[in-house]
């Protein structure tokens, strides 16, 4: 066994990631295990690769990797990986058969009922409901191939493969910046609303529901930035492509008064109503209690944080968790009081295609 699989077998902590329009990076922490933090505020002043769950818990800790290996570019990454070797650990047919494939339609529909009732009772303005789809990990599955496919196919996305002993292995391709920038130029976005991207033409028939869904994210981001003493410049919404989907996106650019407090700003922004709901704290609690499963790192965020250099943090969407015999894919969508279940289910199916397309 060589390469990425060998690193995982040896339980090394590493990530390979590619920011859009940049070279891929491999970082690895071999000296000591990645350390976990208790709160987003603790990221203040820190530098490293963050892997943050939707909700921090003992089973899904907030991780910060501080690498001792840092390699840029496919050529050097591949040459490093080709030297990683360990004993073969073949997956038996039995392992693959042990994967209980599930689309979770029944649990989704149950959760949908409770989410929609609460929206209709006006307890919430918006709630994001998500689910998993479990696929068997066939013997032909290759992490290298899946990562390579994602980089090729999704040029505008942040693509990554992440592994630590504490979190397991995750792979994703996300279109949503949570916070990025350096020096005096920082950015975030409000991304929401979904339509299929067909025949190389960006759609423009946005429904009132999609427009409202995204506007709620815009208002939230503006409020949170203002509360942090930031006066952002706003542009949009524009229609943008993400794989075979299109979304509405507004961009916020700003100067950061206190770069030493990136963790505190992240605590204000995360989770945005693109993945959680409004009002925020109540929606956060409601999702944890009523969604019917644990999101773990899906709809958390990840990326490089550096108050004295460049930061690139993305929301962990369009991702999957890679187990011994199963792949668990995640997707969700924003609900308003008049959302319809079949349409919302179909939207999650379309979002799942982002990962399905790279494992075929
Ligand atoms: C929650 C997800 O997408 C978010 C980002 C863009 C559009 C969304 C939507 O239309 O609901 C979601 O807010 C997901 O991909 O799982």
Structural domain spans, the chain: 3-88+105-359
175 lines ligand 1 (CB under 6 A): no
Mean pLDDT over residues 193-218, rounded? 93
pTM for the whole structure: 0.96
Q: Is the CB of 3 under 6 A from ligand 1?
A: no
**Ligand 1 within 6 A of 274 CB?**
yes
Q: How confident is the model at residue 254 (pLDDT cuts 50, 70, 90)?
A: very high
Ligand 1 near 275 CB (within 6 A): yes
Q: Whose CA is nearest to atom 7 of ligand 1?
A: 192
Please name the residue whose Cα sits nearest to atom 6 of ligand 1. Answer: 192
Among protein residues, the one with the nearest Cα to ligand 1's atom 8 is: 192
Average pLDDT over residues 113-133: 98
Site to probe by mutation for ligand 1, drawn from 193, 334, 354 as the one with most ligand atoms within 8 Å of Cβ, is 334
- What residue's CA is closest to ligand 1, atom 5? 192
Indicate whether residue 217 lines ligand 1 (CB < 6 A): no
pLDDT in tens, 32-44: 666 889 999 999 9
Mean pLDDT of 336-356: 97
Over residues 132-152, the mean pLDDT reads: 95
Asked whether 178 lines ligand 1 (CB < 6 A), one says: no
Q: Does the structure show a pLDDT above 90 at 201? A: no
295 lines ligand 1 (CB under 6 A): no
CA dihedral sign, ordered 116, 122, 123, 124:
positive
Verify whether ligand 1 is closer than 6 Å to residue 192 (CB atom): yes
Contacts 24+ apart (CB under 8 A), 39-43: 39/263, 39/267, 40/263, 40/264, 40/266, 40/267, 40/270, 41/263, 41/264, 41/267, 42/263, 43/262, 43/263, 43/266, 43/305
Give the whole-angstrom CA distance, residue 191 versus residue 213: 9
Cα of 215 from ligand 1 centre, angstroms: 14
For domain 3-88+105-359, the CATH superfamily is Anthranilate synthase (3.60.120.10)
| pLDDT classification of 58: cutoffs 50, 70, 90 | very high
Say if residue 87 is exposed, middle or buried (CB neighbours under 10 Å; 0-12, 13-18, 19+).
exposed
- Rounded to the nearest 5 degrees, what angle is found at the Cα of 81, between the Cα atoms of 78 and 85? 145
| Mean pLDDT (whole number) for 103-109 | 89
Cα 129 to ligand 1 centre (Å): 10
Residue 144 has pLDDT above 50, yes or no: yes
Grouping H, G, I as helix, E, B as strand and the rest as coil, residue 185 is strand
| 298 CA: nearest ligand 1 atom | 16
Higher pLDDT, 257 or 319: 319
In angstroms, rounded to a whole number, what is the distance separating the alpha carbons of residues 279 and 262? 23
Q: What 8-state DSSP symbol labels residue 87?
A: -
247 lines ligand 1 (CB under 6 A): yes
Please say whether the beta carbons of 99 and 136 come within 8 A. Answer: yes
**Hey, is 55 helix, strand or coil?**
coil
Task: Give the mean model confidence (pLDDT) for residues 195-218.
Answer: 93
pLDDT at position 95 over 60: no
User: 306: which 2 tokens?
Assistant: 């550096």
């Amino acid at each position: 066994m060589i390469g990425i699989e060998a690193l995982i077998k040896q339980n090394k902590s590493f990530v390979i990631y590619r920011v859009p329009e940049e070279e891929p990076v491999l970082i690895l922490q071999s000296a000591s295990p990645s350390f976990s933090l208790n709160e987003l505020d603790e990221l203040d002043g820190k530098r490293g690769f963050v892997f943050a769950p939707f909700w921090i818990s003992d089973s899904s800790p907030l991780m910060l990797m501080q690498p001792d290996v840092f390699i840029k570019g496919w050529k050097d990454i591949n040459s490093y990986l080709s030297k990683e070797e360990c004993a073969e650990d073949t997956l038996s047919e039995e392992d693959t058969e042990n994967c209980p494939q599930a689309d979770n339609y029944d649990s989704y529909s149950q959760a949908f009922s409770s989410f929609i009732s609460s929206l209709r009772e006006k307890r919430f303005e918006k709630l994001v409901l998500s689910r998993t789809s479990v696929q068997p990990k066939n013997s032909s599955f290759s992490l290298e191939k899946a990562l390579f496919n994602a980089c090729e196919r999704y040029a505008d996305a942040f693509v990554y493969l992440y592994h630590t002993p504490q979190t397991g292995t995750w792979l994703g391709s996300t279109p949503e910046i949570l916070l990025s920038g350096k020096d005096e130029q920082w950015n975030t976005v409000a991304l929401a609303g979904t339509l299929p991207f067909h025949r190389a033409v960006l759609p423009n028939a946005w429904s009132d529901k999609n427009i409202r869904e995204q506007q709620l994210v815009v208002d939230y981001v503006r409020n949170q930035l203002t509360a942090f003493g930031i006066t952002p410049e706003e542009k949009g919404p524009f229609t943008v492509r993400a794989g075979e989907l299109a979304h509405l996106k507004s961009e916020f650019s700003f100067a950061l008064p206190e770069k030493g407090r990136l963790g505190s700003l992240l605590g204000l922004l995360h989770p945005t109503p693109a993945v959680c709901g409004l009002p925020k704290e109540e929606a956060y609690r409601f999702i944890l209690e009523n969604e019917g499963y644990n999101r773990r790192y899906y709809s958390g965020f990840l990326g490089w944080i550096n108050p004295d250099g460049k930061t690139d943090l993305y929301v962990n969407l369009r991702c999957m968790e890679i187990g011994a015999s199963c792949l668990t894919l995640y997707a969700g969508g924003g609900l308003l009081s008049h959302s319809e279940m079949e349409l919302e289910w179909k939207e999650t199916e379309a979002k799942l295609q982002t990962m399905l397309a790279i494992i075929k």
